[in-house]
A and B are shown apart, each in its own frame.
Chain A
Amino acid sequence: MSQKVLLNATEINIALNRLACQLIENHHNFSETVLVGIQPRGVFLAERLKSLLETEYKIKDIKLGYLDITFFRDDFRRSEKPLEANKTRIDFIVENKKVVFIDDVLFTGRSIRSALTAIQSFGRPLEIELLTLIDRRFSRHLPIQPDYRGRQVDAINGEKVKVCWKENDGEDAVYLVKS
Chain B
Amino acid sequence: MELSVKHLLGIKYITEADIQLIFETADHFKEVINRPIKKVPSLRDITIANLFFENSTRTKLSFELAEKRLSADVINFASSSSSVTKGETLIDTVNNILSMKVDMVVMRHPNPGAGVFLSKHINASIVNAGDGAHEHPTQALLDCYSIREKLGDVAGKKIVIVGDILHSRVALSNIFALQKLGASVKVCGPKTLIPKYIEEFGVGFEPNLKKALEWCDVANMLRVQNERMDISYFPTTREYTQQFGLNKKLLDSLGKEILIMHPGPINRGVEITSDVADSKQSIILEQVQNGVAVRMAVIYLLASKIKHDEN
A: which residues have CB within 8 A of B? 68, 70-73, 76-78, 81-88, 93, 117-118, 120-123
Contact = CB atoms under 8 A, between A and B. Distances in A.
12 contacts: A68-B28, A70-B28, A71-B32, A71-B300, A73-B42, A77-B304, A77-B307, A84-B1, A87-B31, A88-B32, A121-B32, A121-B37
B22 to A, nearest CB: 12
Contacts of A71: 28, 32, 40-42, 70, 300
A72 B303 contact: no
Contact of B305 (A82, A93, A117): A82
Interface in B12-70: 25, 28, 31-32, 35-43, 45, 70
Contacts of A78: 308
Given A77-B307, A87-B31, A117-B41, 8 more contacts: A71-B28, A77-B303, A77-B308, A82-B305, A93-B36, A118-B40, A121-B35, A121-B39
Interface in B154-182: none
B2 interface: yes
A151 B47 CA distance: 44
Question: Dominant SS at the A interface?
Answer: loop
B118 interface: no
B36 A122 contact: yes
Nearest to A86: B28
Interface of B: 1-2, 25, 28, 31-32, 35-43, 45, 70, 300-301, 303-308
Nearest to B304: A82
A88 B28 contact: yes
Given A71-B40, A71-B41, A72-B41, A88 B31 contact: yes
A120 B41 contact: no
A70 B25 CA distance: 11
Contacts of A70: 28, 42
B36 A123 contact: yes
A76 B25 contact: no
A125 to B, nearest CB: 13
B28 A76 contact: no
Question: Dominant SS at the B interface?
Answer: loop
A83 B304 contact: yes
Contacts of B2: 81-82
A82 B6 CA distance: 13
A86 B307 CA distance: 23
A99 to B, nearest CB: 15
B73 to A, nearest CB: 15
Contacts of A72: 40-42
Contacts of B35: 121-122
Contacts of A83: 304
Contacts of B45: 77
B303 to A, nearest CB: 7
Nearest to B103: A77
B41 A82 contact: no
A93 B36 CA distance: 9
A44 to B, nearest CB: 20
Contacts of B32: 71, 88, 121
Contacts of B28: 68, 70-71, 85-88
A76 B36 contact: no
A76 B42 contact: yes
Contacts of B42: 70-73, 76
A118 B300 CA distance: 17
A87 B1 CA distance: 16
B36 A82 contact: no
Nearest to B296: A71
Nearest to B41: A72
Contacts of A82: 1-2, 301, 304-305
